[in-house]
Amino acid sequence: MKHLYGLIGHPLGHSISGEIHRRLYEYYQMDAEYRYFDLEEEEIGSRMNDFRQNFSGLNVTIPYKKKILSYLDDVRDDGALFGAVNTVVLKQGKAIGYNTDGMGFMKLLKQNRISVQGKRICILGAGGAGSALAPKIAGSGAEEIVILNRSLHKADEVAERIRRSVSCTVRTDFPDLAGKYLKYCDVLVNTTSVGMSPRSEELSLEAAEQLRSETAVVDIIYNPRKTKLLQIAEQNGCTAINGLGMLLYQAFYAFELWTGLMPPEALEQQLEHELVF
């Protein structure tokens, strides 16, 4: 029997999830299909019945990662921690939500031998991605987290949520004041959309020139593969990592939730080279 999977979001023009999952079906010689559903919000409810009956899993992307919650039977693990879901397991008529973005991010760090344990981390952005990764990093043993966001109230909300559950020092500030934190920051993570194609000339951190070579810089943007932030980080002698590994690993973890199979690291490396976007 053919297994059906899908991605819901709006708009979906730029997504390469389908390409990744199709490569996994090929690798495992699975009879499966990954379909795109560019849906208006009002359509989600009526579609869920079909998904529950005929599909084995869904990915959920912008702008529905939070909105999907009201259509699910249960939300587990990071899905509950983040209050946002990117993967739905459909089994026996039930829809269970998870979030694999944080796991994808932590795997990317591990693969690059970057630890957050006891470290001081700066996070740029407090949007969908930032508000998910910050509690994940805090929960992984970071000593201090500084969330820098143009809309400071959003950073404050994320910080408050972290303080309620983890004993990690959490500070918030405006990105213009990043300089004072760069003096001691061990890992800097950009979660904003600044510098993403087609606006790849934009720089997400004005003070980037002040980056010390000891700071590892991770930009979760993967298109372009080397953002302006990563270019400056490299010039300053920092370890500089893009978001392609995170994208691939969040897809691998979703695939594992659906099938029980975790694709090998060699396949991740192969796809990093072969994916075209």
- Report the interface residues with ligand ATR, using CB under 6 A: 62, 125-130, 149-151, 154, 191-194
User: Is the CB of 18 or the CB of 127 nearer to ligand ATR?
Assistant: 127
> Using an 8 Å Cβ cutoff, are 44 and 52 in contact?
no
CB of 202 to ligand ATR, least distance (A): 7
The single residue listed with the structure tokens 């109230």 is 153
Q: Give the residue among 174, 182, 185, 186 at the shortest CA–CA distance from 149.
A: 174
User: Is the CB of 56 or the CB of 149 nearer to ligand ATR?
Assistant: 149
User: Is the CB of 57 or the CB of 130 nearer to ligand ATR?
Assistant: 130
Catalytic residue among 2, 65, 91, 110: 65
Mapping DSSP onto H, E and C, the string for the chain reads CCEEEEEEECCCCCCCHHHHHHHHHHHCCCCEEEEEEECCHHHHHHHHHHHHHHCCEEEECCCCCCHHHHHCCEECCHHHHHCCCCEEEEECCEEEEECCHHHHHHHHHHHCCCCCCCCEEEEECCCHHHHHHHHHHHHCCCCEEEEECCCHHHHHHHHHHHHHHCCCEEEEECHHHCHHHHCCCCEEEECCCCCCCCCCCCCCCHHHHHCCCCCEEEECCCCCCCCHHHHHHHHCCCCEECCHHHHHHHHHHHHHHHHCCCCCHHHHHHHHHHCCC
CB of 126 to ligand ATR, least distance (A): 5
User: Is the CB of 6 or the CB of 243 nearer to ligand ATR?
Assistant: 243
User: Is the CB of 133 or the CB of 216 nearer to ligand ATR?
Assistant: 133
CB of 129 to ligand ATR, least distance (A): 4
CB of 71 to ligand ATR, least distance (A): 19
CB of 28 to ligand ATR, least distance (A): 30
Active site residue 65: yes
Cβ-proximal residue to ligand ATR, closest one: 127
User: Is the CB of 44 or the CB of 194 nearer to ligand ATR?
Assistant: 194
Surface-to-core class of residue 105, CB atoms within 10 Å of its CB (0-12 exposed, 13-18 middle, 19+ buried): buried
CB of 84 to ligand ATR, least distance (A): 9
Which residue numbers are catalytic?
A: 65
